[in-house]
Structure formats: C-alpha cells, structure tokens
Chain A
Amino acid sequence: MARRVAAGTGVLLLDSEGLSKIAGDDEWAWAHLKQALKEQSRVFVPAVTLAEVLRGGSRDASATAFSSASPSST
C-alpha cells in the first residue's frame, strides 16, 4: 500500500495573541496567514485559545467570524 502524505508543509497554530491580532486586522498577523495559504498549510485554532479570547461581548464578533470560517479548529 502506497504511503499517503498530507498536502502542504507545516501547521500555523494560532495562540490567543495571534487570534486577537487577526481579529483586530493586524497586517503582520494576516501576512503570516497568507504565507500559510501560500504554503498550503493547515491553520488550527485550538479550543483553549477560543476560550481565552472569546469573552461573550460584542468585541468577539471578528474573532468568532474568523474561527467559524477558519480552515481547521480543534
């Protein structure tokens, strides 16, 4: 049986700072996200990061929008 290899290399794992910066439209953070796309890598937002960042207020909107549409959440 031939070996199966996942496409792309590496994983971009967002911590609370990364998710907050992306939610706040920080260009530096988005550059890393675009680089991950260029490399066809997976992007993960751990559940614990969501628990840290999301506070239940209106400020959560952009972070929630990103995490719900983010390629991978675990």
Chain B
Amino acid sequence: MTASTPGPSARAAAPAKTAAKKSGVARDSATRSAQPVGPIKSAAKALAKAPAKAPRKRAPAKAASAGTATRAARPPRSRAARNAPVPPSAVPASGGLAALRKVSKVSVSLPDALTRSVRDRVRRGRFSAYVTAAVERQLELDRLAELVDGFEERLGRPISNELMAEAGAAWHAE
C-alpha cells in the first residue's frame, strides 16, 4: 500500500469526524467524547494531537502516515517545468569562466562526415569544446538578430538603406 492511500483505520475515522462536525461540537471535545475503540483509536489519537490550525490536507489519515506531509508540501516539478526552454538571459555569455561552468551530457546526432572533420581537427577530448564554441557563437548571432528585429519592430519599418549603406562603408573602411 502506498503512503497516500488511507488505511482502514483512517477510513473508519472519517465518519466520526463528520459526525462531530454535524453536531457542532469542537474537534477536540468531539474526539474526547467519542471514546474510539478498535482500529479507529490510533487515528483519533492523531487527530487529538494535531495542531488546531492544521491545513485540511493534513487530515488524521495523512498525519498518521510519516513522510506524507513533507512530500505533499514540496511536490515534484512537472515534466513541462523541467523541459521548459531556458530564457536567453539565463544562458551565460561566453568568457574566461567557461571552464568553470557546470556541464551536462547531451546526445547530439551529427552527419558522419561532419563528425570526422571535427575529429580530424581537434585533439582527443576536445570535441565538446569545439562544439561548445560553435553553439556559443550561434547563440550570440541569434541574440543579436533578435535584438535587431525587436528594434525594427519598435521602429515600425526596417532600418533605412541609407543608414545601412553608411554603416557598411564605415565597417569596410581602412
């Protein structure tokens, strides 16, 4: 039986609690006056010991089973939350601290020819570093493109050709 499934004593305790509620008697006095016998005795004791302002989730059935309350307080992250995309701002920019970053192992499929080309170029054990550099570079370009797109959206039109020509001339000037 799992921890979340109420046991027979808990099921038996439920009617006693309902009856106390209906009669309008306070919970503590109800449990004292009910004088539980047999299987419901332990559950009733737990009810009497429970704090007055305990949330409804911590009913006698769950309070009686150790560990359930802790699990209910911190539910595990859902699959959707774990697989949610990381916002661009959360990805650290490239820099000298790259070596100190926490790494995770991923499985990536690459064409054979591409894999051979990279292996020919890098030393043993440096494949990941090569791929990391390439991915960082691509992320930089993607972020820059998003920034420019955002500006043009705010502007309501693309950046004028005259200004682009001027920028191009300045870029290629000696």
Residues of A within 8 A of B (CB): 1-2, 4, 6-7, 10, 25, 27-28, 30-40, 42-43, 66, 68-74
* Least CB distance, B151 to chain A, in whole angstroms: 5
Question: Is B72 interfacial (CB 8 A cutoff)?
Answer: no
Identify whether the interface residues of B are mostly helix, strand, loop, or mixed.
helix
| Contact call A73/B93, Cβ cutoff below 8 A | yes
Q: List B128-174 residues whose CB lies under 8 Å from chain A.
A: 137, 139-141, 143-148, 151, 154-155, 159-160, 163-164, 166-168, 170-171
A33 to B147, CA, bound (A): 9
* Known contacts A34-B167, A74-B95; 14 further A-B pairs (Cβ under 8 A): A10-B171, A25-B151, A27-B159, A27-B160, A28-B166, A28-B167, A31-B164, A32-B171, A36-B144, A36-B171, A69-B143, A69-B147, A71-B139, A71-B141
| Contact call A39/B171, Cβ cutoff below 8 A | yes
- Known interface pairs A25-B151, A37-B141, A37-B145. Does A72 touch B94 (Cβ–Cβ under 8 Å)? yes
Query: Could you pull out 9 A-B pairs where Cβ atoms are within 8 angstroms?
Result: A7-B137, A28-B166, A33-B148, A40-B141, A43-B144, A71-B139, A71-B141, A72-B93, A72-B95
Give a binary string over B10-39; 1 marks a CB under 8 Å from any A CB, 0 the rest.
Answer: 000000000000000000000000000000
Q: List B73-116 residues whose CB lies under 8 Å from chain A.
A: 88-89, 93-95
| Contact call B89/A68, Cβ cutoff below 8 A | yes
| Contact call B144/A71, Cβ cutoff below 8 A | yes
A2 to B144, CA, bound (A): 29
Nearest A residue to B87 by beta-carbon distance? A69
A25 to B163, CA, bound (A): 14
- Known interface pairs A30-B148, A31-B164, A72-B140. Does A25 touch B95 (Cβ–Cβ under 8 Å)? no
Could you say which of B88, B94, B144 contacts A33, with CB atoms under 8 Å apart? B144
* Least CB distance, A13 to chain B, in whole angstroms: 13
- Known interface pairs A28-B163, A69-B143, A73-B93. Does A35 touch B154 (Cβ–Cβ under 8 Å)? no
| Contact call B163/A1, Cβ cutoff below 8 A | no
- Known interface pairs A34-B164, A36-B144. Does A25 touch B154 (Cβ–Cβ under 8 Å)? yes
Question: Is B121 interfacial (CB 8 A cutoff)?
Answer: yes
Contacts of B144 in A (CB 8 A): 33, 36-37, 43, 70-71
